[in-house]
Structure 1
Amino acid sequence: MNVASWVERHGRRLRDRPALAEGDRLHATWADFAARVAAVAGAFRDDLGLRPGDRVAVVMRNRPEYLEATYAAWHAGLVAVPVNARLHREEIAYILEHSGTKVVVTDEEHAQDVEPLREAVESVRTIILAPGPQWDRLTAATPARLVDVAADDPAWLFYTSGTTGQPKGATLTHRNLLMASLSYFADIDPVQQNHSVLYAAPLSHGAGLYGLPHVARGAVGVTPTSGALDGAELAALTERWPGMSFFAAPVMVKRLATDPALAGADLPGLRTIIYGGAPMYLSDLELALDVFGPRLAQIYGQGETPMTITGLSKADHADRSHPRWRARMESVGFPRTDVQVRVVDDDDVELPAGEAGEVVVRGDVVMAGYWNQPEATAQALRGGWLHTGDIGSFDEDGFLTLRDRSKDLIISGGMNIYPREVEEALLHHPQVDAVAVVGRPDPEWGESVVAFVVAGDGARPTTDELDRACTDRIARYKRPKEYHFVDALPTNNYGKVLKRELRERLRAEDGPSMR
């Protein structure tokens, strides 16, 4: 089933109900949304010569046109490639080239990064600016009929960084997206057409995935006008668009919970806050529950199994009388309805409760594989299970607690940062002989990036120079917050850097309060 059929159906059944909004302003009814999607799909096919299976990338901030472009791609049987608009130009170029993207939809804010790629990326034929005259012409084109797709046809290439520093495109099929949406209804929230979803986090990742079940049920999708949601804006939007849910990283939940504009607010229009993508400190969670009440639900997932592995329901959060409530709140919850989850040893043998090992998962929500990376696919999906690279253990009640990340992923402000890509950027500086990057617990951001640098002979590089080495090659938010100059990096007998020793140094500096 083509997931774009949801928009087409609502265009007939819910014609005059709101579908898309920007702030408090209605952008499109469901009839408008369906018509615009079909027209852009027709333009993709007839004017731009795209055929089913071709890739269309979207590089823009959250706005209604983002959703129009994505659903138009699916309507035409194309593959959507949502790109994090905060990435560096070279990172965007890699994704466009690796995916073989032919058309890029962007906005004025990001055109300066995308336009130069017209010549740099061979596959890119056309770059479309939205909103604007170009987009208006596409939305006025002859509508296309909805393309019939197979359940296992690719729909979304979800690019997530790998341990080598180069992104991998998790191939999400129409079946994957459908199962993720059905699992949301089963475990998180039974969405109704009089509800709303706020796209507070990037549509290229969790917010886009959690928008799917809301589109499926005919709820209105709202993009904030500020681009940086605050308490006053949230309160106003929940009043304008009641029954509101949104996905957010823990750092955003904490910021909202401490926003003076929400002090003592009842927020009757707020329905659910789904948080995930990074650890939530228990003290921060208790504060958020005091402010928002039993409206929080936690999820644990990855792009490879779109945000669907385990979860803590709103009922779990509300059950403070349970003797193990605090331990459960420090877990990532119980396996979701549509998946099997195990903890296994190095030989993929299932471990008993209480023993830590790698978390593996299987089910119809798990990706088809990595785009054009058969070796990485075989490694990740060996034995028919997705190997997450996360280390965890189950308790006797079946709640999963994550213990570590075997891939050394750093999650700062809800954004994934892999040390290797930062290290490679820093090694471009001629006075950097060696470098190791680790994460440090941070009360505001969840984690901050710290680099241990071995300088070469001669003048030690300045922090400004090291920052510039990063920002010339990777997104600004990935650059280290601290640089520690050392004579040598700790290694084992095989020459492998012992990052755990570097993290121990930081923990010793921070003291017990940050452990």
Structure 2
Amino acid sequence: MPEFVALDALVRGTAERVPHKTAVIDPDRAINYADFNALIDRIAASLQASGLKPQDAISICALSSIEYAATFLGALRAGVAVAPLAPSSTPTDFAAMVKDAAAKILFMDNATADNFATADIDPAIPRVALDGGKAGTAFKAWLAPEGSKPAPVTIDPDWVFNIIYSSGTTGTPKGIVHTMWMRWRQYGQLDPLGYGGDAVTVLSTPLYSNTTLVCFNPTFAGGGTLVLMKKFDARGFLELSAKHRATHAMLVPVQYRRIMAVEDFDSFDLSSFVMKYSTSAPFAAGLKADVLKRWPGGLTEYYGMTEGGGTCMLLAHEHPTKLHTVGQPAPDHDIRLIDEDGNFVAQGEIGEVVGHSPVIMQGYLNQPGKTAETFWRDPSGKLYVRTGDVGRFDEDGFLTLMDRKKDMVISGGFNIYPSDLEMVLVQHDTVLEAAVVAMPSEEWGETPVAFVVLRPGASADAAEIKGWANERLGKFQRLNDVVMVDVLPRSAIGKVLKRELRDRRLSGDHLSA
């Protein structure tokens, strides 16, 4: 493994070697590496002038742009951690995440300013408007003068690179802490991924997502070009890919489905593609096969957690008979299956997926209890991350996922935790209890459906409860449907049988006492 090099230092090196090479293209303009690196310097200098020190943190909540990308890297150059936040959060939980991250400056744009106008943010936290709008001090006014350079900072690999919030926006936020070293272990191995200087990566997923950073970081590390989309649309993605001769893209399965459904898909020249990636949600075998058949270049599916631990990779173009699986453990990744008692299961048996690798989160920020719940050690003391997923390895070492113990809903690549939605539903005056399950969706892959039991003597209809709940949920959490039931099916120990709810719904059976 090569010696650790900070990501911003690799960008600086590219700027010195090929200053006129295009670094980033967004919907408004393009910027070369020399100018991009100079912008990173000015941002780092501005952070220092604002009093930030190494290991402090900032939060960014905005649509993808050159300024967003430069602010992320400028923070890293100053040794400052980045907590990128989802614009789809509720105001209450947005404020909770800013507080949890101890952000010293909040960067926003017009698209997010209105969403969080009522958020209870400490007024002492400066706000900077990346697009110069009403979100705060205009970015250009906050930015240090042209030619400014920050005081040099020697990056410690153990410092925090980013804090990624993974919980639903109505639950207690869980900030996943990734160190500089962990990220280096991801972006420092470029050759197998093809992320050299010729790479052109189209990013259509938001920059607060770990899914996006998996391609954002190595593209910059290898001196490639990033093409940013503020909002995904299938035709727009195809147009950008053809125009800029894209070589790489990270897409969630629902995006692949929409792209492949574009009527004149085959008219777009996609011959420049080297590799396409997918992660974050179940990827149907038939859809993978269609991508392989009609879209040039390789297709790699990643299976793992933002928390790290272990990753499986399916090189679909090399293993067309294994499209129903999520692949084999990546190099240096130890993926095991354990039973309810924590024993490793035999090959071919079903168990919970746990993983060990050099890529493991530092922990959940300020939540040692939840960190301890997620980590698991084998009898030798080796540290693994528990996924909560259940799977089985076949005779060739390919992993097939069977179910998710945590019952998480993955809708359009976004993680939705049913307990967060259930917590909102039971606050309705008429609701006694509720269970939320993942139902199949052609559009989103999965969508949340709630099964609700009313209090004795109470009266309410499904549409009323759905509307009431969706007003209180984040954009990507909203319920697709509410089903009124007399009773929730339970096991002998009182656990709600969500699989039974799902199966009955799919079969069209009515649920009643």
- TM-score scaled by length of structure 1: 0.90
Q: Deviations over 1:378-397 (max 9, x none)?
A: 22123111111111111121
Is 1:343–1:359's contact at 8 Å kept on the other side of the alignment? yes
The answer on 1:505 being equivalent to 2:504 is yes
2:222 is equivalent to residue 220 of structure 1:
no
Cα pair distance change 1:92/1:124, threshold 3 Å: farther
Match among 287, 298, 305 for residue 284 of structure 1: 287
1:30-82 CA-partner distances (Å, limit 9, x unpaired): 11111111111111111x21111111111011222211111111111111001
From 225, 228, 233, give the equivalent of 1:229: 233
Query: Contact 1:151/1:174 (CA < 8 Å) preserved in 2?
Result: yes
* 8 Å Cα contact 1:380-1:387 kept in structure 2: yes
The CA distance in 1 between the partners of 2:435 and 2:353, in whole Å, is 26
Q: Name the CA distance, whole Å, in 1 between partners of 2:105 and 2:151.
A: 20
Distance change in 2, residues 1:137/1:123 (3 Å)? closer
Residue type of the alignment partner of 1:317: H
Letter of the 1:330 counterpart: H
Q: Are the aligned partners of 1:36 and 1:140 in contact in 2 as well (CA < 8 Å)?
A: no
Aligned to 1:211: 216
| 2:337 equivalent in structure 1 | 343
Q: Is the 8 A contact 1:433 1:454 kept in 2?
A: yes
Contact 1:203 1:209 in 2 (8 A): no
Query: Residue in 2 aligned with 1:144?
Result: 150
- Distance in 1 between residues matched to 2:485 and 2:462, nearest whole Å: 14
Q: Show the counterpart of 1:249.
A: 252
Alpha-carbon separation, structure 1, partners of 2:72 and 2:252: 23
* Other-structure match for 1:513: none
SS at match of 2:311: strand
Q: Distance in 2 between matches of 1:474 and 1:244?
A: 37
Q: CA deviation at 1:183?
A: 4.9
**Distance in 2 of aligned mates of 1:400 and 1:145:** 48
Which digits, 9 at most, give the CA deviation of each residue in 1:362-413, with x for residues without a partner? 1221111111111111221231111111111111211111111111100111
Q: 2:129 matched to 1:135?
A: no
Of 169, 172, 176, the match for 1:166: 172
Which residue identity does 2:330 align to in structure 1? R
Q: Is the 8 A contact 1:2 1:147 kept in 2?
A: no
Alignment pair present for 1:371 and 2:365 = yes
Which residue of 2 is the match for residue 415 of structure 1? 414
Task: Name the SS for the 2:138 alignment partner.
Answer: helix
Q: Distance in 1 between matches of 2:169 and 2:369?
A: 14
Q: Which residue of 2 aligns with 1:359?
A: 353
Contact 2:254/2:413 (<8 A) preserved: yes
CA distance in 2: counterparts of 1:341 and 1:182, whole angstroms: 22
Contact (CA 8 Å) 1:160, 1:168: kept in 2 or not? Answer: yes
8 Å CA contact retained: 1:175, 1:364: no
Q: How many angstroms does 1:457 deviate by?
A: 4.2
Q: Distance in 2 between matches of 1:235 and 1:435?
A: 41
Give the one of 154, 176, 179 matched to 2:182. Answer: 176
Looking at structure 2, the residues matched to 128 and 330 of structure 1 have their Cα atoms a distance apart, in angstroms, of 46
Letter of the 2:427 partner, please give it. Answer: H
Which residue is equivalent to 1:405? Answer: 404
User: Which moved further from structure 2: 33-42 or 463-472?
Assistant: 463-472
| Cα separation, 1, equivalents of 2:365 and 2:123 | 16
What is aligned with 1:18?
22
Q: 1:184 to 1:311 in 2, by over 3 A?
A: farther
- Number of paired residues? 493
- Mapped to 1, the partners of 2:319 and 2:495 lie a distance apart of 45
Q: Residue 73 of structure 1 corresponds to which residue in structure 2?
A: 75
Q: What is the letter of the counterpart of residue 42 of structure 2?
A: A
Which residue, 350, 369, 380 being the options, matches 2:374?
380
1:123, 1:53 → 2: CA distance? 22
The separation in 1 between residues aligned to 2:425 and 2:470, in whole angstroms, is: 10
For 2:274 and 2:92, the matched residues in 1 are separated by 39
Distance 2:463 2:63 in 1: 28
Matched residue, 1:113: 115
CA-to-partner distance for each residue in 1:254-295, whole Å, 9 max, x for gaps?
110110131343422333221121111122222222221443
Contact 1:6–1:215 at 8 Å: present in 2 too?
A: yes
CA 304–220 in structure 1, closer or farther in 2 if over 3 Å, else same = same
Q: Deviations over 1:466-504 (max 9, x none)?
A: 234333432132121111101111123333222122122
Q: Does 1:157 align with 2:159?
A: no
Shift of 1:162: 6.9
- What's the counterpart of residue 95 of structure 1? 97
- Counterpart residue number, 1:260: 263
- Output the CA distance in 1 between the equivalents of 2:104 and 2:469: 29
1:67-111 Cα deviation digits (max 9, x unpaired): 111111111111100112222222212211222222111111111
Q: Residues of 2 paired with 1:467 and 1:89: CA distance?
A: 20
Asked if structure 2 preserves the Cα contact closer than 8 Å seen for 1:355 and 1:394, the reply is yes
Q: CA contact under 8 A between 1:155 and 1:174: conserved in structure 2? A: yes
Matched with 2:380 is none
Distance 2:107 2:335 in 1: 37
Cα RMSD for the two superposed structures:
2.2
Alpha-carbon displacement from aligned partner over 1:173-203 (angstroms, at most 9, x marks no partner) = 01111112235643xx221212211111111
Select between 350-359 and 233-242 the one with higher mean Cα deviation: 233-242
- Summarize deviations over 1:220-250 as a string: whole Å, max 9, x none: 111125x12223x233322332243111110
Secondary structure of the corresponding residue to residue 198 of structure 1: strand
Match of 2:460 in 1: 461
| 1:34 has 2:37 as partner | yes
More divergent stretch after superposition (94-103 vs 236-245)? 236-245
Q: Is the CA contact (8 Å cut-off) linking 2:273 and 2:296 kept in structure 1?
A: no
User: 1:3 is matched with which residue: 3, 7, 21?
Assistant: 7
Distance 1:203 1:228, change over 3 A: same
For the residues of structure 2 that align with 1:112 and 1:355, how far apart are their CA atoms? 51
Would you say 1:126 and 2:130 are equivalent positions? Answer: no
Q: TM-score, normalised by structure 2?
A: 0.91
Are 1:200 and 2:193 counterparts? Answer: no
Q: Is the 8 A contact 2:75 2:82 kept in 1?
A: yes
Pick from 85, 88, 106: which aligns with 1:86?
Answer: 88
Q: What amino acid maps onto 2:317 in structure 1?
A: H
In structure 2, the CA distance between the partners of 1:182 and 1:409, relative to structure 1 (3 Å rule), is: same
Note closer, same or farther for the CA distance 1:346–1:124 as it changes in structure 2 (3 Å cut): farther
Output the amino acid matched with 2:256.
Answer: V
- Confirm or deny: 8 A CA contact 2:431 2:455 kept in the other structure: yes
